[in-house]
Structure 1
Amino acid sequence: MSSEPARRSRGAVLQDVLPESLGFGTIFAPLVVTAWYRRGRWEDPVLCELGPVASSIGAKALQYGQSVFEGMKAYRDLGERSPESGSFLFRPHDHARRFARSARRLGMPELPPEVFVSTVVDLVAALDEYVPGRRGQSLYLRPTMVGTTEDLTVRPATEFCYTVLATPSDALFTEPINVWVERGYSRAGAGGTGNVKAAGNYAASFAVSERLLERGFHQPLWLDAATRGTVEEFTAMNVFVRRGEQLLTPPLSDTILAGVTRDSVMRLVEDAGDLQVREEAIPIDGLLAAIERGEDIEVFGTGTAAVVAPVALVGDESGLRLHLRGHETAARLREQLLDVQHGVATTHDEWLLSVGRS
């Protein structure tokens, strides 16, 4: 990958520059990757200074939402496996494949997975000092592809821009969250784009999210569009329910995103063998009734940005407010997953790609 400008030397982690509390997605690292698709092929990616990407107001991404993205992370190596080790990318090849699926669904060219992985590796290596050194923090990476063709015909673009943005971040949620059962709007319908990371999926949630934030809730809990009777996912996370010794999660479909963290959590639970993992429909009314009866239940979300986020309160428009006080399973799984991501645990090394310091 070419570099503009030439890379400067990299030192230790910028603990004296990065604040102890990073927030999520508000601090941008100074380098990005950019690649263009023109005349039917991908041009070589370029490492360059962070700045605006030139685009027409008539671009397909702005006019018709032809835009997809991924969310992934680089974690500082806290296991001290070798002096050369800098950080780990977590399951980058899975993110590359999902990025390709998203592109196909929106009529966009696939970026070869090996190119996707090499771009994030090169960016993280160049930004080594921006990978935070505290447990649970990461360099969050946002690969994005947008249609840039300038015309208003209702058909796919023929030119595209691929970028990778990096931001030193905390987890999206650092405390248990309050969730709202959304019975009016729907996140996704059958045959739509609910199972890919299309930008419009998230924009469609903003009106609901803004209203919920004003009421003290962090995420909507979306129900199926057909019946409004079963749980699907949160806006930014997949859903898990521990009920006794069973761990339940809705089965994947064309309305539910195949979360990389979701799959990782299921694998960790299967490894431990203390819970039975089941993919099955979760009726919302039955879940709420069980919580209200005081059954042994935990609800939590999983996602790249959030890692594992326990639910403290469930509410809806009827005035229902149900508190969940047990978060032991969610807390344990979060710590187990962070052990893997930071290289502390030696299990599931196949999920990690080591990125040395440049």
Structure 2
Amino acid sequence: MSITINEIPVKRVDKSRLPEVDFDNLAFGSVFTDHMFRCTYREGRWQQAEVVPYGPLTLDPASKIFHYGQSVFEGMKAYRDSDGKAWLFRPEENQRRLNISASRMAIPELPDGLFMEGLKALLEVDRDWIPGQSGSSLYIRPFIFASGTGFHASPADAFTFIIACAPSGSYFSGKVSVKIEEAYSRAADGGTGFAKAGGNYAGQFYPTQLAARDGFQQVIWTDDHRHEYIEEAGAMNIFVRIGDTLMTAPTSDRILDGITRKSILQLAESEGIPVEVRKIRVAEVVEASKNGSLREMFGAGTAAVVSPISSFGYRDELFELPEPEDSYAAHFKKRITDIQYNRAEDPFGWRYPLG
């Protein structure tokens, strides 16, 4: 299936809700644009793609998404610069990762062009929904789910691919306190941890609720074998700075190949910052905190870009982190957002123009 933006029919809303939106007070992911992109898979192929008014879906109660959780998604953003031009950030990486996730969940991969042309068609229609306020952006959620029916435990024979968007204000979570988890695991070897599958995130909610009761905002996940190595922070990749060396866990069956993560690693390499991509022992982080060499920990992901960690709890002890003047977290957040908002040169070719 090959498709171009001009081949995608558009059914516009009768009246836009845009004038009703207060762009100065937007909660994350709570207000949605006028339209969405939709394409269905049936009879062994992806069918006609279209842009339609955003609205509820009608699904059979036997749809397999409800029973076997066959779904994958992505998270990305569109940005507007000071001249009003609109940009995406590394969208081809989202397209690539969505297909990797789909393959792992026995979902048909999207053919070349369907993701990007559908995205461009939707953003052409809802272009005015991309906020111009400083720090704001248009959050974009592509997702695929099993819409085929049946109670038998097998892959569905029909799927629905949708791209929906939500304008969001400046995302700042502040510094967070996290708990190093030893009882629950986010993922296991041979499992689906590397895929952006909905069930991966549902399984995180309960342990995170337990951590919240103890005063923590997030959980640092450890390996499923002996809980010996740190792997991710909440729904984000995690970075640790000991001395001047920046460290992060290698991607694996259990760890998501984060786009912000790989951007930080490439920036660090280009600036000569010492980087180690290796397994990081919990004991090593605890010891570094005790001897004063642990300088920073932070999460990295699409929503917040970088989320600094102020303290971590481990076995009934709380370890406070310092606030370095030469913060890597602050530096990389500025470098990435300056590229995203077209405030700086883009030597890596990450910025993608929207028309």
SS at structure 2 position matched to 1:204: helix
1:307 and 2:314 correspond: no
Which deviations, in whole Å up to 9, do the C-alpha atoms of 1:192-233 show, x marking residues without a partner?
000010100000011112222333322210000012000111
1:320 and 2:317 correspond: yes
Instruction: Tell me whether 225-234 or 116-125 shows the greater mean CA deviation.
Output: 116-125
Normalised to the residue count of structure 1, the TM-score between the two structures is: 0.91
Q: Give the equivalent residue in structure 2 for 1:67.
A: 71
Residues 6 and 27 from structure 1, CA distance in 2 versus in 1: closer, same or farther, beyond 3 angstroms? closer
Distance across 1 between alignment mates of 2:215 and 2:25 = 21
Residues 315 and 153 from structure 1, CA distance in 2 versus in 1: closer, same or farther, beyond 3 angstroms? same
The share of aligned pairs that are identical, in percent, is: 36
2:72–2:102 CA contact under 8 A, matched in 1:
yes
Distance across 2 between alignment mates of 1:192 and 1:32 = 31
User: Which letter maps to 1:311?
Assistant: I
User: Which letter maps to 1:282?
Assistant: I
User: Which letter maps to 1:3?
Assistant: V
Distance across 2 between alignment mates of 1:187 and 1:172 = 25
Normalised to the residue count of structure 2, the TM-score between the two structures is: 0.92
Distance across 2 between alignment mates of 1:149 and 1:17 = 35
Q: Give the equivalent residue in structure 2 for 1:3.
A: 10
Shift of 1:162: 0.6
Q: Give the equivalent residue in structure 1 for 2:282.
A: 284
Distance across 1 between alignment mates of 2:282 and 2:224 = 13
Which deviations, in whole Å up to 9, do the C-alpha atoms of 1:110-140 show, x marking residues without a partner?
1124210111222222222221223332111
1:340–1:347 CA contact under 8 A, matched in 2:
yes
Query: What number of residue pairs does the alignment pair up?
Result: 346
**1:1-358 equivalences in 2 (<5 Å):** 1-5=8-12, 17-78=21-82, 80=83, 86-170=85-169, 173-273=172-272, 275-316=273-314, 318-326=315-323, 328-348=327-347, 350-356=349-355
Name stretches of at least 5 consecutive residues in structure 2 with no aligned partner: 1-7
Distance across 2 between alignment mates of 1:352 and 1:140 = 16
Distance across 2 between alignment mates of 1:6 and 1:256 = 40
> Which fold has the larger relative contact order, with Cα–Cα distance below 8 Å and residues 6 or more apart in sequence?
1
User: Which letter maps to 1:143?
Assistant: P
Which deviations, in whole Å up to 9, do the C-alpha atoms of 1:120-161 show, x marking residues without a partner?
222222222221223332111110100111101111001000
1:247–1:278 CA contact under 8 A, matched in 2:
yes
2:211–2:219 CA contact under 8 A, matched in 1:
yes
SS at structure 2 position matched to 1:209: helix
Distance across 1 between alignment mates of 2:297 and 2:79 = 26
1:179–1:311 CA contact under 8 A, matched in 2:
yes
Residues 62 and 9 from structure 1, CA distance in 2 versus in 1: closer, same or farther, beyond 3 angstroms? closer
2:13–2:53 CA contact under 8 A, matched in 1:
no
SS at structure 2 position matched to 1:205: helix
SS at structure 2 position matched to 1:350: coil
Residues 203 and 171 from structure 1, CA distance in 2 versus in 1: closer, same or farther, beyond 3 angstroms? farther
Shift of 1:321: 1.2
Instruction: Tell me whether 252-261 or 203-212 shows the greater mean CA deviation.
Output: 203-212
Distance across 1 between alignment mates of 2:318 and 2:76 = 33
Over the residues paired in the alignment, what is the CA RMSD in angstroms?
2.0
Distance across 1 between alignment mates of 2:56 and 2:170 = 26
Instruction: Tell me whether 319-328 or 279-288 shows the greater mean CA deviation.
Output: 319-328
Shift of 1:97: 0.6
Shift of 1:348: 3.3
Instruction: Tell me whether 130-139 or 96-105 shows the greater mean CA deviation.
Output: 130-139
User: Which letter maps to 2:158?
Assistant: E
